[in-house]
Amino acid sequence: MTIGEMLAATVPMARTLNLEFRETTPDKAVVALPDRSEYHNHVGGPHAGAMFTLGETASGAIVLAAFGEQLSRAVPLAVSAEIAYKKLAMGSVTATATLGRPAAEVVAELDAGQRPEFPVSVSIRRGDGAVTGEMTVIWTLRPNG
């Protein structure tokens, strides 16, 4: 099962919004929100809540790709998130997530018995490439037990 398939199967909102997982690697996750009228706001573009879910899902996809080998000993959890809406989003939008710290550094903290926190940056773009939103999600790996 791919990370996208796993998220669609286990995260109801990802499935509800029919998010498309285009790329999921430890270096980058790319997830798209299709243009559907039921996701629109009062100006005809994707609702802010749908874009937030898109960005948070892209951040979760890269976390699973980068730290999937740690799932037997730690649970990834979003700690906080901040989003800025930059331009009017119309049509399909795509979120690209990248880790804000090297994965090896985060794993070293986990190995040392700590509960590491790390940022994931997300850029949300419309079809013409314009950035419509920027998001930062702080994640942690909570050790089991």
Cβ–Cβ < 8 Å for 133, 58: no
Tens-digit pLDDT profile for residues 11-26: 999 999 999 999 999 9
> Scanning the structure block, which residue is given the tokens 């997530």?
97
What are 20's two structure tokens? 């498309």
Domain residue spans of the chain: 3-143
Closest CA to 58 of 89, 22, 87: 22
What pLDDT band is residue 145 in, cutting at 50, 70 and 90?
Answer: confident
What does pTM read for this prediction? 0.95
125 vs 8: which has the higher pLDDT: 125
**Rounded-to-integer distance, Cα 51 and Cα 55, Å:** 6
Beta bridge partners of 141: 76
Tens-digit pLDDT profile for residues 84-115: 999 999 999 999 999 999 999 999 999 999 99
> Scanning the structure block, which residue is given the tokens 């740690």?
70
Q: Does domain 3-143 have CATH number 3.20.20.10?
A: no
